Every structure is written in structure tokens, then in C-alpha cells.
Structure 1
Amino acid sequence: IPANSFYEWQKVNGRKVPYNFELKDQHLMTFGGIYSIWRDRQGNEKLSCSIITVPPNSIVKPIHNRMPFVLTKEHERAWLDRNITDPEYLKELIKPYPDDNMRCYQVSQTVNNAKNDDPWL
């Protein structure tokens, strides 16, 4: 699941303060996820997916108790390879992203409302 960043919120004195997390080189990051194809009661095919979460790295930890599973560039192809089915191998890939290429900064409260849908968010 490609993304340029993700938000997490820190609770401070009863209010939520949003932070943006991104790669230092500002390249897209890839979240590891799982997907399912299923049929609803009317027989229509549906697709759904979920982003896997992991314990936080040292950049995210002061803000939140978990983070999305971000694949390293070296592991993206393996994660998407349908021929790799060894669950133990895949579990080894699921860990917090290395902190040395990640940064965070506080952002506007505007991100707290899903109705605010601007490109700069």
C-alpha cells in the first residue's frame, strides 16, 4: 500500500496533537498489508485490505504505541511475490521500520477532521 507519509496522534492534556511521519528522503513508503476477496449477500465480489501494524520504532514511540508496518525497499518484492508462501520467512519481514531514515513533525489540527480534504494534507 503506497503512501508518502502517515499521521499519528499524541494525547496531551486531554487533546490529540497530530504528527506526520515520513521518510527523510521523501520517497514513497510501502505499507505491508493483507487483502481478501469475498462475496457479499447479493453475490457481488468485494475487495478489502488492512494495513499491518507493529510496535513503534524510536521515532514513533514518543507519540504512539504502534505504527504501520513499512517495508524496506529490499523487502518490497518479496512481500508481493505470490511464490513466497513460507509464513516464517514473511514474519521475519514484519518489524518496525529503521529509525535512521524516518522523521516526524507536528502538523495542523486541520488533519483531525476527515472533511478537510486538501492536497497539502
Structure 2
Amino acid sequence: MRGGWLAVLMALAGAAAAQETGRDIYARYCVACHGTDGTGDGPMRRVLTLDPPDLTQLAARNGGVFPRQRVIWRIDGRDPVLAHGNEMPVYGDLFAGRDLVIRDETGQTLRSTQPMADLVAWLEGLQRR
């Protein structure tokens, strides 16, 4: 039984670390457009072709389910954002590669990177229910 609790505690610690890392990635790469609280009111908003979406409402706009696949594909360029071309412009190689398997909201596997997984975990925790 002690081993089971240890595994749970380690999993929780890993999730907390991913949340912190995801928050750091968001602060560095996303705040300028999406704002500090994710509602789309960043300082670059007024110069963009389209208003950045409210990232706190992604699940609400998707029937209460966080759209993990769509979020990953938007960020890494597989689902282009019309406002600025194929991929988010400021990431460089941060999200390049497909070395990690992530499960989407339906249980299907997606190939991505650890920074992407961390950012998406943080965004998922940002949702207003």
C-alpha cells in the first residue's frame, strides 16, 4: 500500500511541475497576445488581424471538453491560425519535433514535445467551468 501512495504522490508532483513549467512557457511566449490571464487582452491584441481567443473558455466552447488536439495543432502549425500564417510566430524550435506521445480528449495518441505537453497541461488547468 505504501508503494501505491508513493506512486500517487510522485504523479501529483510531476503534474505540479508540468503546471509550473507550462505557466513559465505561457508567460514567455503567449502573454503578449493572450494576456496574463489568458482572456485575450495582451498588449499585441490591437495590432493583430484577429482578436486572440479567450483561452480560459476553450473547454466551454467545446461542449465542456478541453480540445487538446486542436490546441496542440494550432500551436505547432498543423491547424493554421489565419491571423498570422502556419504556426505561432514566436516559438522557433521550442515545439518542433514529435518525440513525445500525448493523449487527446478522445484517447487517441498525438506526437508532440514535452514543452507542448507542459503548456497544454497549464492551459487545461486555466479553464473556467
For the aligned pair, the TM-score class normalised by the smaller chain equals: under 0.3
The structure with the largest helix share of the pair is 2
The structure with the largest strand share of the pair is 1
